[in-house]
Each structure stands twice: as structure tokens, then as C-alpha cells.
A and B are shown apart, each in its own frame.
Chain A
Amino acid sequence: MPGVETIKSSWADEVELDYGGLPPTTETVENGQKYVTEYKYNKDDKKTKVVRTYKISKQVVPKTVAKRRTWTKFGDSKNDKPGPNSQTTMVSEEIIMQFLNSKEDEKANDPLLDPTKNIAKCRICNGEHWSVNCPYKGTAMDTNMMEKKASAAAAAAVDAPKSGKYVPPFLKDSQKGALGMRGRDDTAAIRISNLSESMTEADLEELVKKIGPQSKMYLARDKNTGLCKGFAYVHFKQRKDAAAAIEILNGHGYDHLILSVEWSKPQNN
């Protein structure tokens, strides 16, 4: 019963080069392994040594199968050498079979797919629904929160000049703007929301320039369409100007929309 031939690389035979200085190809068989060592020149014209390791396996097959192993090749493979032709037979990369039991367990743990677990939280009344669906939206409770912020801001601004204490020159409001230029200064920044889509930087500047000088303005725009996202940030040079802007513009009608202005919150909140 002839054993099944080991896989021979026909490519190696085809690349036999007649370089005089190369040692001959050697084969060693031991412990069920065959080592084929050959020498040749690579692309950089340097001598290279290639060692191939084959595994010799013995397989018991029916007589008809063994007879078919000895058939002569025909058709397009008539000139092929024994063994696989590297042009028609390739060993692909390892493919791992995915078993689906673990996948189904992961799906069950996903909170988004769990209908019983509610992930919505309202910003207005802290209930378990989305803010857009809040029943208190646009009502007195919503207005009270905004009014609280406005009055607190106004009170904070009024308190500052009343104090008769000595204030060092570098802490005065007029000097604070200069220091703020060196780093990020959020103390005099306000956020204007509920802007219309057609808002531009020029409109924003026209809106706030009467109140006081600004150091920076940012109008949020959609990347794809270029339209206004509906909110903007304005950095004033003096905090009292920012407080005045909140008092003047909050609730102000502009381009058929009611603006909402508040102090800008830090980013890491």
C-alpha cells in the first residue's frame, strides 16, 4: 500500500539556478520530518539559505484511491510536476470558526437592547424621559430655572463693584482681559442657544457688539451643510459685560426665535 506523497513545492524545483558557487541541495529525513536545504541568490544578489520542513504522514486508503493517486495529469495540468502547483493551489490564512453561543450572551447584556431599562433622563425635571418629551418644557417650571440663573448672574455682577475693599491692580476687571489672553478664560464667556440656521458670524457680532468688547466668538456650524447648529459662545473682555449680555439677550426675539443666554459651563463638567 503506497503512502500518500508529501506535499512537494514545485516552485523550488523551478527556481533551480546554475550558479557555480552554490552548494547542492540536501535532504534529511528524521523522526517523521523531512528537511530540504537549498542555497540561492536573492534579489540583492546575496547568498541565501532556505530550509523547508515537511511533515511525513502515512495514510491508509482504499485501493482505488491509491490507484487514483498515480493518475497522469491532463488538460491544463499536463505539464505540472508532482505535487500542488502554486499557481492553482494556495494555502489561505487561518480562518477561525465562530460559534454563536457566546454572541447571544453578549446581546442579552447590552443595555440598549433591554426594553425594561430606561436610559433617558430629562434635563428640565430630571425625570425618566427625554428632554424633548418633557411635559414641563416651556412651562413655568422651565422658565423659573432660567430666571433663577439670570437673577443669580445679575446679583453676582452687582456685588463686585459695591465692595469698597482695596483691590490690587492686577485683579481689577479691566486688567483681567489681558491675563485671560494667555490661557483659556471661561469667566466671561456666555452661551447663546436657540439660534436660527441662517445665523452667521457677522450677525452674531452685530448682536453683541453694543454690549461690550469681545475677545472671541465661536458659532457652531454643521460640518456637512455649513448651517448654524443653533448655539454659539461669546467671550467678553469684562465679566460685567457678559452679565449684561445675559440680562439683555435672554428671552430676546431674534430672527423669529427666542434666544436663550446663560453662562458658559466648563467643558469637563
Chain B
Amino acid sequence: MRPLMLQGHERSITQIKYNREGDLLFSCSKDQKPNVWYSLNGERLGTYDGHQGAVWCLDVDWESRKLITGAGDMTAKIWDVEYGTVIASIPTKSSVRTSNFSFSGNQAAYSTDKAMGQSCELFLIDVRNADSSLSEQEPTLRIPMTESKITSMLWGPLDETIITGHDNGNIAIWDIRKGQKVVDSGTDHSAGINDMQLSKDGTMFVTASKDTTAKLFDSESLMCLKTYKTERPVNSAAISPIMDHVVLGGGQDAMEVTTTSTKAGKFDSRFFHLIYEEEFARLKGHFGPINSLAFHPDGKSYASGGEDGFVRVQTFDSTYFENIFE
């Protein structure tokens, strides 16, 4: 099937996400407007106007009512998904690099950047009664990061823990009630974590790292289960909800993109088998590195956002489902 090419951003994509049912696709980029699309036909529902800096991260709650975004203008904003209005704007002291809703949607976590003399910090806020007064309230939890800054974040099972990926390749699990670190991954990754995504049941997650590998970890013990090796930095990885497949995307840094030809084949989406750790398929399409990947919750299509500013929605053919791994 022919893929959809969504062009709503002027600069490179930073993150894309589906909502729970998969009918809405959210995308944000280094321009100031996150977009929302109908994933079925690629129709754009609207843009969320209000940020004055690059939007680094976004997340949507399970009811698809609220959207949280973090940007380089040192604010985290909560939006109404339906009308595109700002519900709350939370000022921070440096850029907001990660933001996530909990599974229940009652809480949200975000982390700030280690920049402008500020250290990286992890914040936890209650968003049940989010309104404009949220900017003056104190966060319910605040954890400074003394070792390395957070580059990726997930909520753990049952909303009891938060999993953070750091710039030095470390992965840590934080207990929310105690406010301290409970598990540390050690030295599984040797370079920064670019992305982390949970499996459908939340028992494991896949990490994408600058050390050209993606690894599969257990969500509770942080035991490294699988390793998927490529030859260039991995910017994003996603686990299929219905098949034992993992898709990886990456490429060189942006400053080297113009010296590389697309025929070099390094801008493909790479499909690995989840268990056998071998690559079995590739899909071309982007003219630059892939910065973010997301599987549709029904597993029949996936979306990729690249450095070229395009979001591509690719529906799988029947050959993808009939392919038997040999």
C-alpha cells in the first residue's frame, strides 16, 4: 500500500506518538507547533499553537483528552486535545526534554535539561484538576539528577515507578513513593539513550542508543534480554504489538546528512526479529535520519518521523505478515 506523507512541520521531527486507539497521531518538531493527524487518511486535525521554542517531547493520556508537551522555551504545557487550547503552562528553569502521562492519566512526569547552569531534574505533577493555577503549584515530587541528564523516560508498571534513560547510557528505575532510585542498569549501553518504548503489555521495553545498538530490557529488574546490532546510531525503536518484531531507525548526526547519499541505505527502517535478534527486512523512504518511530496500536502500520520534517505512515502489505523467519 502506498504510504502517506504528512507535511505539517518546517523543521526536523522530534517525536511522534499514537493515542491509545491509534486513530490520532501526534507529532512535534523543532518548530513551535505540535500537530495532530487522523492516522487513517492522514488528515490533519489541527496544530497546537502557543510554544515559542522547539518542542522536544509530547504525550497523550489514555482518554485522548489531554496532551502534554515540553519545549525549549522552558515550559511544559498541557493542552486540550479536541480544541487545541492551553489548559496549563508550567514554567521551568531549562528546556523540558521528556514528558509522560502516567497510565491512569492522573499524574504526569517531565524532566528538564542540564543547561544554563541548571542541573537536570525530574518532576512529578498531579494533573487531575489541571487548570491555569497548575503553574503556581509545587510538584508532588522533585528529584535532581546528579550524574547524567535524562534523555528518555517511561512510566513503569502500575504507575509505581518511572524508568529513565540517561545521556551516559545508564538506565534507572525510580520509586515514586520513596523518591529514590531502586534499580540501576549498570553498563549495558555505552552511549546515550535516544529513545525508550514499552511493549504492549508493559513488561519490557526497547531502548535505542547512540552506541549503534538497541536492547530489550525487563521493566522491573532492568535485565538485558536481547541486543539488536546495527552499524549506525539508533535514534528510535518500537516493538510491534502483534508480531515478534522490532523496528529500528536512525542515521548519522544532522551535520553529516548532506554528505551522505540516500542510496547508501542508511536511512532505512530496519526490522529485527524480537527473539532471534536478526534483521529480516528494510523499508526505505526518508531523505534523512529517522528520529522517531511508532507502531500503530493495531500493529498493521507504523509511522516514522525524520530529519527531513516529514512524517510517513506506512501500512504493511500482506507479505510482511506472511513472511516466516527462517
Partners in one complex: yes
A binding-site residues for B, Cβ under 8 Å: 4, 7, 59, 61-62, 64-65, 68-69, 71-78, 80, 83-85, 87-95, 97-101
- B204: Cβ under 8 A from any A Cβ: no
Beta-carbon contact of A97 and B282 below 8 Å: yes
Contact partner of A95 (CB less than 8 A), chosen from B47, B84, B284, is B284
Residues of B within 8 A of A74 (CB): 45-47, 83-84
Beta-carbon contact of B44 and A92 below 8 Å: no
Beta-carbon contact of B314 and A90 below 8 Å: no
Which of chain B's residues 47-73 have a Cβ closer than 8 Å to chain A? 47-49, 63-64
Contact partner of B41 (CB less than 8 A), chosen from A7, A72, A98, is A7
Bound state CA distance, A99 and B279, in angstroms? Answer: 9
Residues of A within 8 A of B45 (CB): 71, 73-74, 77
Contact partner of A65 (CB less than 8 A), chosen from B4, B23, B44, is B23
Bound state CA distance, A89 and B8, in angstroms? Answer: 8
Bound state CA distance, A77 and B38, in angstroms? Answer: 13
- B138: Cβ under 8 A from any A Cβ: no
B contacts with A: majority SS: loop
Most chain B Cβ neighbours within 10 Å, of A65, A71, A75: A75
Beta-carbon contact of B41 and A97 below 8 Å: no
Bound state CA distance, A74 and B33, in angstroms? Answer: 12
B1-40 CB mask vs A (1 if < 8 Å, else 0) is: 0111111100000000000010110000000010001101
Bound state CA distance, A83 and B281, in angstroms? Answer: 33
Name B326's closest neighbour in chain A (CB-CB): A101
Beta-carbon contact of B280 and A87 below 8 Å: no
Name B3's closest neighbour in chain A (CB-CB): A92
Which of chain B's residues 234-271 have a Cβ closer than 8 Å to chain A? 271
Bound state CA distance, A69 and B36, in angstroms? Answer: 12
Bound state CA distance, A95 and B287, in angstroms? Answer: 14
Beta-carbon contact of B21 and A84 below 8 Å: no
Beta-carbon contact of B7 and A100 below 8 Å: no
- B319: Cβ under 8 A from any A Cβ: yes
Bound state CA distance, A84 and B25, in angstroms? Answer: 14
Beta-carbon contact of B280 and A99 below 8 Å: yes
Bound state CA distance, A101 and B33, in angstroms? Answer: 42
Beta-carbon contact of B41 and A89 below 8 Å: yes
Which of chain B's residues 73-115 have a Cβ closer than 8 Å to chain A? 82-84
- B146: Cβ under 8 A from any A Cβ: no
B261-302 CB mask vs A (1 if < 8 Å, else 0) is: 000000000010000000111111100000000000000000
Bound state CA distance, A26 and B301, in angstroms? Answer: 35
Bound state CA distance, A101 and B324, in angstroms? Answer: 10
CB distance from B240 to the nearest CB of A (A): 14
Contact partner of B33 (CB less than 8 A), chosen from A75, A92, A95, is A75
Bound state CA distance, A4 and B40, in angstroms? Answer: 9
CB distance from B73 to the nearest CB of A (A): 18
Bound state CA distance, A174 and B3, in angstroms? Answer: 76
Known contacts A97-B319, A100-B280, A100-B281; is A77 also within 8 Å of B44 by CB? yes
Beta-carbon contact of B46 and A100 below 8 Å: no
Name B19's closest neighbour in chain A (CB-CB): A68
Bound state CA distance, A22 and B78, in angstroms? Answer: 51
Residues of B within 8 A of A75 (CB): 33, 46-49, 84
Apart from A97-B283, A98-B284, what are 14 other A-B pairs with CB-CB below 8 Å? A68-B23, A74-B47, A76-B46, A85-B44, A89-B6, A89-B43, A89-B44, A91-B2, A91-B5, A95-B3, A95-B283, A100-B280, A100-B281, A101-B280
Residues of B within 8 A of A95 (CB): 2-3, 283-285, 314
CB distance from B46 to the nearest CB of A (A): 4
Which of chain B's residues 297-326 have a Cβ closer than 8 Å to chain A? 312, 314, 316-317, 319-320, 323, 326
Bound state CA distance, A83 and B320, in angstroms? Answer: 29
Bound state CA distance, A64 and B4, in angstroms? Answer: 24
Beta-carbon contact of B281 and A98 below 8 Å: yes
Bound state CA distance, A101 and B278, in angstroms? Answer: 11
Beta-carbon contact of B42 and A84 below 8 Å: yes
Name A65's closest neighbour in chain B (CB-CB): B23
Residues of B within 8 A of A97 (CB): 271, 281-283, 316-317, 319-320
CB distance from A25 to the nearest CB of B (A): 22
